[in-house]
Chain A
Amino acid sequence: MAFDPVRLEIIKNAIGSVVDEMVLTVVRIAYSSIMKDTMDLSSAFCDAQGRMIAQGLSLPLHLGSIPDAMDAVRAEYGDTLAEGDIVVFNDPYQGGMHLPDIFMVKPVFVGRRRIGYAIVVAHHNDMGGRVPGSSAADSTEIFQEGLQIPVLKLFERGVPNATLISMIRRNVRIPDVVMGDIDAQAAACRIAERGMHELAQRFGVDQLERYFDELLDYSEREARRVIRSIPDGVYSYTDHLDDDGVDFGKPVTVCANVHVAGDELTVDLAGTSPQVRGAINSTLSFAKSAVYFAIRAIMDSDAPNNAGFIRPIHVVASEGSLLNPRRPGAVAARGVSGFRLIDAIFGALAQAVPELPRAAGEGGTTSYSIGGVDDAGRFVLFREAIMGAWGGGFHREGIDGVANPAANISNAPIEMVENQAPIRIERYELVADSGGPGRWRGGMAVARQLRFLGGRATLQLRSDRRNFPPYGLAGGQPGRGSMNLLDEGKEEWRELPTKFTRAIEKGHAFRHTSAGGGGYGEPQARDPALVLADVRNGKVSVGAAERDYGVVITTQPWRIDETATARIRNSRQASLAAEVQ
């Protein structure tokens, strides 16, 4: 063996500590709830060649963004960045993803030698544009979405760029919060610099760089090992989004064709819809993130996420398509397309390795923002994400009330929301009969109901999975589709589209119900005892137990009617057998 397995482990852990500490730093000192509570951010360290060596514990869907971001910085500045420089940008068409995500890159020097770059990407609460929160799904070009920051220096040799800061402050709705959060990112970069200095001192720069190579090779070996275990072949799955937020009811197609050959894997996105008018277009870097995440999630390894891991994984998407748009396509709500791409890849991989992926979950976080004024006329901006459910899997129950695995973020505490914003949360609950029936039931949908208590505001919401509910696998049924309801203070609930931006007034309420996760395996094969437990817990109704599972339950006392259950299940079995013949 050319390397020392002891030193490899130690340096791997040490760099892992550095990037994790970056995330902790942002979380604890940021101002906005989306950074400090929902933790919509990621950190990484790249070597002097710009290769990502390690990524911090953070948002999985940022996995593929760092390499493209690093390329953009190096294309702009080459090797000219100096000690004390800090680069920022958010331009989706120059290394970014969507405007709220500000990338920050700080070169790290040991003496006069540049050993790499510390990077933090974090989602800001507002970047200006036509809708508070800068995340509307119904914008049609990027100019509506907010301030575009090309690759620029925020600090030059330690001196702040007053012009850029002034431009940012003037263009966002909450300049103190945005600049406070940018400061938090800068603090994280300084923490990384300190950590890397310690490592350089301990191991020497030459040895450290040699182990950067080893770490990349290590993760590459792990990725190739996992890919080799997938049978060779081409596996395709087509999934859909309800619409693009502009052309209501017109489905958008996401198609993943997974080619496995030996230890190389290619995801060809041919068949995916062309670029759309609405803001759900996703940059190729984000599409790549989704691909890397899906492969990573079926890997039984905790190898570092780095540039080595992605070497054997390839992504092909034609320019001008939903998952590789051209300027000036709108991209703010691109998250939902990334979630759907992951669902499609899992659907494809389930054909090759059915025991690894789960049936589809809720379909991605539902995010919304309320921007306006309270009773006293003060500006209010509140945003959060609603989640979620996991689908059932091979000998795995679905999970009720859980973050999407690709966007591991928190909910906002109800009592904190009510103390800080003119909002009352009226209900936050699991929804009965929403999990897809299966031998392993899909996770239940989550509903959140809020009433606006302020003056006037714009409510913007991005959801999906109403007309194309989360799929089941191996005979499991889909979960129930999502729903948005609005009450204009009259106790009358009416349906709204999955993606909308609209004015609301004091006393208006809305209720979002996410989709439920898909089931796995034949529902008729579910253990009746599990069905009884679900019924007792109000997760499945008595009616649905019989309809979906063929299990007859009496309520007083709680009991499975074994005879009736056997009769129903046998007759269903028989008619199924007849169908097959």
Chain B
Amino acid sequence: MSTITPSLRVGVDIGGTFTDLVFLHADGRLDKIKIPSTPDDYSRAITEGVAAYCAKMRLDAAEIFEVVHATTVATNAILERKGARTALVTTAGFRDVLELRRIRIPMSYDLGWEKPAPLVEREWRLEAAERLDARGNVLTPLAIAALEQAVQPLADAGIEAVAVCFLHSYRDPRHEVLAGEVLRRLLPHAYVTLSHDVLPEMLEYERTSTTVVNAYVGPLIGRYLARLRERLTAQRIVAPLLVMQSNGGLISAGAAAARPVTIIESGPAAGVVAAARLARDCGHANVITLDMGGTTTKASIIEAGEMLRAAEYEVGSRVSASSRLMRGNGYLLRIPVIDVSEVGAGGGSIAALDAGGSLRVGPLSAGAVPGPACYAQGNMRPTVTDANLALGFLGADSLAGGALRLNRELAERALQTHVAAPAGLSLLDAAWGVHVIANSNMVRAIKSVSVERGRDPAAFALMAFGGAGPVHAVSVAAELGIRTVIVPPAPGVFSAFGLLRADIEHHAARTVLTSTAQFDAGSINGAITAMRDELIARMRDEGYAAGLVKIVTQVDLRYRGQSSEITVALPEQSVTESALRAAEQRFETEFERTYGHRGNTQDFELVTCRLIATVPRATHYEARWEPDAAHATPTRAVYFGATLGSLQTRVVTRKSLADAAISGPAIVQEYDTSVVIPPGWQACLDAAGNIVATAA
């Protein structure tokens, strides 16, 4: 055992229930720890985990080279409404834009629907006399004295954060800048966010909402990251602290505090980054990820090695829905985010027969507490995990290496009472039904990121992680025509591992809205140059020299008159005739691919220019996990549906696959998951230690 490692890197993923830590040593050795999260102060679990690991391994914490972090602190603050007391300053006549939203409701026919309360109450939404037109000309100059007067009461009211969003500020930020100066002068302790800083793009509601969320979580994230820094320093860990953004790139803790809105979906993003890197390592260009947890399952798509991104999403939506039509239950963020689709089907999802006689699984979940019936913690209703246990996919000792015993009798009783008896099914067919419907819910999530974007899932491999995913992955793959399933090592801490494989990444964007036939190259390229300088400066602030920074320019194009843009890469660094013509061709190709035809016009609009600056990290890893202690039983009876019936199934360890491939039916049982290999599939271990299942 080495005692001193010059470049130990630590990845930390904080979830609501568990905090996962992954340690990557200079020689490629990997270790993992899963400890309960500490909701009173989430940073505590991190330092405690690191301290425990260092003590066990007899390491000096000062040798830690880097700490990379994903956190749900911001998401929790929004869900629990525990963010800052926030005010908003808008153009006169428009303070209600935030509350009016886009008006649409997420579910039709639901008179009981409740609109999420705005993050800034109307009382603290102030109006400033000022107005620009759509070209950025000043119609009404900002009335500064009146603004100063309006802002006075905010200090007494204990306002901690202020967002500013004026109409058309993406064209000219001057009024927002002036208002920002007033606010910083009169409210020196408040966290001030200007919309053009966060999102210099057209669309007032989307920009206002994004700016308000940034202000709402800003003080909290700042305090959290500062406290974490203090705790690390107290343990003599002076290594840089990096944070994962929703777009899959890393930024420094300082930059995250300045723009916290970018780190809200950091956990889910980290898993997809891990998948993308791993896919590249093992030669799979096209991969769909399946991340199944206790309450939901998330899917995303990696194509030609690239993660697909969406332009906006909603945070804090309590209803999980894969469909893009069901907007309105959360708080809209228009920032680049890895396109993840989520359905309310996890291991804890409850199965029940509805009044009309159809078997439903989820969205109600037993969560981790009380958890599935088989946890014997008081829940008597059957869940997906109970069905998997009754079928034999899971054994009594399948969870946490047998540390948590699963009670099969309780699982079967719950299934018998709530599904089998009322549906007139045998116990095993009822359990099979629950399993299959959970699969079909996951299929819906996958279709939402693939078929709805014109992609055929059969052309992809499926990579499954999260504790419950590998139990379902092969069946889900079969249903979609996917012929290869990959289960990486340590799938239960895969997101934490992904943190160690991400690049440093900063994004910038400006709305320019112009025809591509007639455009002012000077002003557009001026904007691009300004963005490039800004990105290089941000990188320099984080300690990366300009020479290390790789910058990609993208443009959002659309057919004139349409409102949905597609982002395509610009083949050159700046906007030229030839670059735009090439971009138009890429746009039309992607449009046709997604929608099956091209538009009936050749008039295009360039809406937004985007720059992505990255500092690539090591692209190749000789990482290797220490194998889990083997604890497999030789065989057990497993039910594979009415056609195949009950089959004696071998239960093996991942390690044993290194010696010989295995044909289904088989189960690979590990510390944190079980991989089900049904008949007709076989599984082997690749050089990187992944289980690769293929259809025979």
Q: B114 — which chain A residues lie within 8 A by C-beta?
A: 396-397, 399
Q: A6-B433, A8-B357, A415-B134 are in contact. Are A25 and B105 (CB under 8 A)?
A: no
Would you call B424 and A6 a contact (CB within 8 A)?
Answer: no
B contact residues around A25 at 8 Å (CB): 595
Q: Name the contact of A5 in the complex, choosing from B167, B202, B359, B441 (C-beta under 8 A).
A: B359
Taking CB as reference atom, which chain B residue is nearest A390? B111
Contact with B along A183-226 (1 / 0, CB 8 A): 10001001100000000000000000000000000110110010
A410 and B104 contact, Cβ closer than 8 Å, known pairs A5-B423, A187-B596: yes
A1-20 interface mask toward B, CB cutoff 8 Å, 1 = contact, 0 = none?
10111101110111001001
Chain A residues contacting B596 (CB-CB under 8 Å) are 187, 190-191
Distance A17 CA – B447 CA, assembled complex (angstroms): 9
Q: Which residues of B contact A1 (CB under 8 A)?
A: 357, 423-424
Q: Enumerate A505-519 residues with CB–CB distance to B below 8 Å.
A: none
Confirm or deny: A317 has a beta carbon within 8 angstroms of a beta carbon on chain B. Answer: no
Tell me whether A401 and B356 are in contact (CB under 8 A). Answer: no
Bound: A200/B102 CA distance, A: 38
Given the interface pairs A180-B600, A410-B104, A430-B96, the reply to whether A24 lies near B325 with Cβ below 8 Å is yes
* CB proximity of B311 to chain A, nearest CB, Å: 13
Interface size class of A (residues with CB under 8 A): 35 or more
Q: Complex formed: what's the CA distance from A221 to B353 in Å?
A: 14
CB closest chain-A residue, reference B600: A180
Report yes or no: A418 in contact with B595, Cβ–Cβ below 8 A.
Answer: no
Q: How far is the CB of B597 from chain A (nearest CB, A)?
A: 6
A82 on the interface (CB 8 Å rule)? Answer: no
Chain B residues 506-539 with CB under 8 Å of chain A are: 513
A293 contacts chain B at the CB level, 8 A cutoff: yes
Q: Assess the A5–B433 pair: CB atoms within 8 A.
A: yes
Which listed segment binds A: B70-78, B209-217, B225-233, B561-569?
B561-569
Segment touching A, from B115-123, B365-373, B660-668 = B115-123
Contacts A187-B597, A402-B103, A537-B122 given: A177-B204 contact, CB under 8 Å? no
Within the complex, the shortest CB–CB distance from B557 to chain A, in Å, comes to: 14
Asked whether B358 is an interface residue with its Cβ less than 8 Å from the other chain, the reply is yes
Taking the closest CB of chain B, its distance from the CB of A180, in whole angstroms, is 5
Contact of B356 among A14, A301, A356, A418 (CB under 8 A): A301
**In this assembly, does A23 line the interface, its C-beta being within 8 Å of a C-beta of chain B?**
yes
A-B pairs with beta carbons under 8 A, tally: 207
Instruction: Determine how close the nearest CB of chain B comes to the CB of A92; give it in whole angstroms.
Output: 24
User: With A36-B562, A57-B323, A537-B123 as given contacts, are A430 and B356 in contact (CB-CB < 8 Å)?
Assistant: no
Interface pair A415/B108, CB less than 8 Å apart: no
Q: Given the known inter-chain contacts A24-B452, A357-B111, please indicate yes or no for A428 contacting B97, CB distance below 8 A.
A: yes
Distance in Å from the Cβ of A6 to the closest Cβ of chain B? 4
Nearest CB of chain A from residue B134's CB, rounded to whole Å: 4
Q: Out of B96, B100, B123, B441, which one reaches A13, CB within 8 Å? A: B441
Instruction: Encode contact with B along A406-422: 1 for CB under 8 Å, 0 otherwise.
Output: 00111101111011100
Neighbour of A409 across the interface among B94, B104, B432, B440, CB < 8 A: B104
Please measure, in the bound complex, the distance between the C-alpha atom of A317 and the C-alpha atom of B561, giving whole angstroms.
42
> Chain A contacts of B356 at CB under 8 A?
218-219, 221-222, 225, 301, 303
A403 to B100, CA, bound (A): 10
Proximity string of chain B (82-123) to chain A, C-beta cutoff 8 Å, 1 when within and 0 when not: 000000000001111101111111001111111100000111
CB of B440 within 8 A of CB of A393, answer no
Known: A21-B452, A24-B325, A57-B108. A415 touches B563 (CB 8 A): no
Task: Report Cα–Cα, A386/B59, bound state, in Å.
Answer: 65
What separation, in Å, do the CA atoms of A416 and B204 have in the docked complex? 9
Which of A5, A39, A293, A408 has the largest number of chain B CB atoms within 10 A? A5
Report B-chain residues with C-beta under 8 Å of the C-beta of A414.
Answer: 94, 97, 167, 204
Residues of B within 8 A of A357 (CB): 111
Which residues on the A side are within 8 Å of B304 (C-beta)? none
Q: Is B599 an interface residue (CB 8 A)?
A: yes
Q: Using Cβ atoms and an 8 Å threshold, which residues of chain A touch B559? A: 31
**Are A396 and B103 in touch, CB under 8 angstroms?**
no
Q: A345 at interface (Cβ–Cβ under 8 A)?
A: no
Residues of B within 8 A of A20 (CB): 323, 325
Partner of A413, one of B203, B326, B562, B595: B203
**Would you call B595 and A29 a contact (CB within 8 A)?**
yes
Task: Please name all residues of chain A whose beta carbon is closer than 8 Å to the beta carbon of B601 when the two chains form the complex.
Answer: 176, 180
Q: Which residues of B contact A221 (CB under 8 A)?
A: 355-357
Bound form: Cα–Cα A420–B452 in Å: 29
B451 within 8 A of A: yes
Residues of chain A within 8 A (CB-CB) of B203 are 413, 415-416
Q: Interface code A378-410, partner B: CB below 8 Å = 1, 0 otherwise?
A: 000000000110100100110111110100111
Do the beta carbons of B562 and A176 come within 8 Å of each other? no
User: A581 to B358, alpha carbons, bound, how many Å?
Assistant: 54
Complex contacts, A9 vs chain B, CB 8 Å: 358-360, 437, 440
A33 adjacent to chain B (CB < 8 Å): yes
A68-125 residues at the B interface, CB under 8 angstroms? none
A430 nearest CB across to chain B (Å): 5
Q: Is B444 an interface residue (CB 8 A)?
A: yes
Task: Decide: A10 and B123 in contact? CB cutoff 8 A.
Answer: no
From the candidates A31, A37, A356, A415, name the one contacting B204 in the complex (CB within 8 A): A415
B100 and A428 contact, CB distance less than 8 A: yes
Given contacts A180-B599, A415-B167, A446-B100, contact A293 B109 (CB under 8 A): yes
Nearest CB on A from B88, distance (A): 13
Q: Does any Cβ of B come within 8 Å of A296's Cβ?
A: yes
Q: Shortest distance in angstroms between B601's beta carbon and chain A's nearest beta carbon?
A: 7
B133 within 8 A of A: yes
Residues of chain B within 8 A of A409, CB atoms compared = 103-104
Residues of A within 8 A of B204 (CB): 413-415
B121 touches A537 (CB 8 A): yes
CB-based contact B123/A538 at 8 Å: yes
From B95, B104, B358, contact of A8 by CB (8 A): B358
B349 CB to nearest chain A CB (Å): 13
User: A281 → chain B, closest Cβ, in Å?
Assistant: 25
A452–B268 alpha-carbon span in the complex (Å): 47
Q: Which residues of A contact B595 (CB under 8 A)?
A: 25, 28-29, 187
Q: Are A415 and B202 in contact (CB under 8 A)?
A: yes
Question: How many angstroms between the C-alpha atoms of A21 and B450 in the bound complex?
Answer: 12
B353 CB contact (under 8 Å) in A5, A415, A537: A5
- Report the separation of the CA atoms of residues A42 and B439 in the bound assembly, to the nearest whole angstrom: 28
With contacts A12-B358, A387-B103 known, is A299 near B109, CB below 8 A? yes
A297 part of interface (Cβ distance < 8 Å): yes
> Complex Cα distance A288/B176, Å?
51
Report Cα–Cα, A446/B99, bound state, in Å.
Answer: 11
Which residues does chain B contribute within 8 Å of A397, judged by CB atoms? 114
Chain B residues with Cβ below 8 Å from A39 are 104, 325
Q: With a CB–CB cut-off of 8 A, which chain B residues contact A400?
A: 99, 115
Q: Which of A60, A179, A219 contacts B109 (CB 8 A)?
A: A60
B451 touches A21 (CB 8 A): yes
> Which of the listed residues A179, A225, A429 has the most CB atoms from chain B within 10 Å of its own CB?
A429
CA distance in complex: A299, B441 (Å): 24
- Interface on B for A, CB 8 Å cutoff? 93-97, 99-105, 108-115, 121-123, 133-134, 167-168, 202-206, 323-326, 353-360, 423-425, 432-433, 436-437, 440-441, 444, 447, 451-452, 513, 559, 561-564, 591, 594-597, 599-601
Q: List 23 A-B contacts (CB under 8 A).
A: A6-B436, A6-B437, A13-B440, A13-B444, A24-B323, A25-B595, A29-B562, A29-B591, A36-B562, A176-B600, A218-B356, A393-B111, A400-B99, A401-B103, A403-B103, A414-B167, A414-B204, A415-B134, A418-B167, A420-B561, A428-B100, A537-B122, A539-B122
Which 10 interchain pairs have the tightest Cβ spacing? A6-B433, A427-B93, A537-B122, A401-B100, A418-B134, A5-B359, A222-B356, A419-B134, A29-B595, A57-B325
Besides A14-B440, A28-B594, A430-B96, 16 more A-B contacts (Cβ < 8 Å) are A6-B359, A6-B433, A6-B437, A13-B441, A17-B444, A28-B595, A37-B563, A57-B326, A180-B601, A190-B596, A402-B115, A405-B108, A411-B102, A413-B203, A415-B134, A449-B93
